[in-house]
């Protein structure tokens, strides 16, 4: 099942938190720090740009134009 942009964003934030917590570790008296998180940050920024254009509930491939928050009302 396809995820909405909001679900993708929530997942990438969880992945970033996990990666941040595992960035450094200690072995005896030595402390080590792993590589940077720049790829996860790039993905987060890409998803945020899409959320700004299409909205949090948009599913990619669902339609081709941003609709925003639109209500269709009919008055008789």
Lowest mean per-residue pLDDT among 1-5, 20-24, 71-75: 71-75
Please provide residue 14's backbone torsions phi and psi, each rounded to the nearest 5 degrees.
-65, -40
Both tokens of 14, joined, read 């969880």
Q: For the whole model, what pTM was predicted?
A: 0.59
pLDDT of residue 66: 56
Q: Which residue has the higher pLDDT, 76 or 17?
A: 17
Please count the other Cβ atoms lying within 10 Å of the Cβ belonging to residue 5.
21
Predicted local distance difference test score (pLDDT) of residue 2: 81
């Amino acid at each position: 099942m396809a995820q909405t942009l909001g679900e993708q964003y929530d997942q990438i934030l969880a992945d970033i938190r996990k990666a941040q917590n595992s960035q450094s570790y200690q072995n005896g008296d030595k402390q080590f720090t792993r590589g940077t998180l720049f790829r996860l940050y790039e993905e987060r920024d890409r998803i945020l740009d899409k959320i700004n254009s299409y909205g949090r509930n948009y599913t990619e491939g669902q339609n081709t134009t941003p609709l925003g928050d639109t209500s269709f009302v009919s008055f008789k």
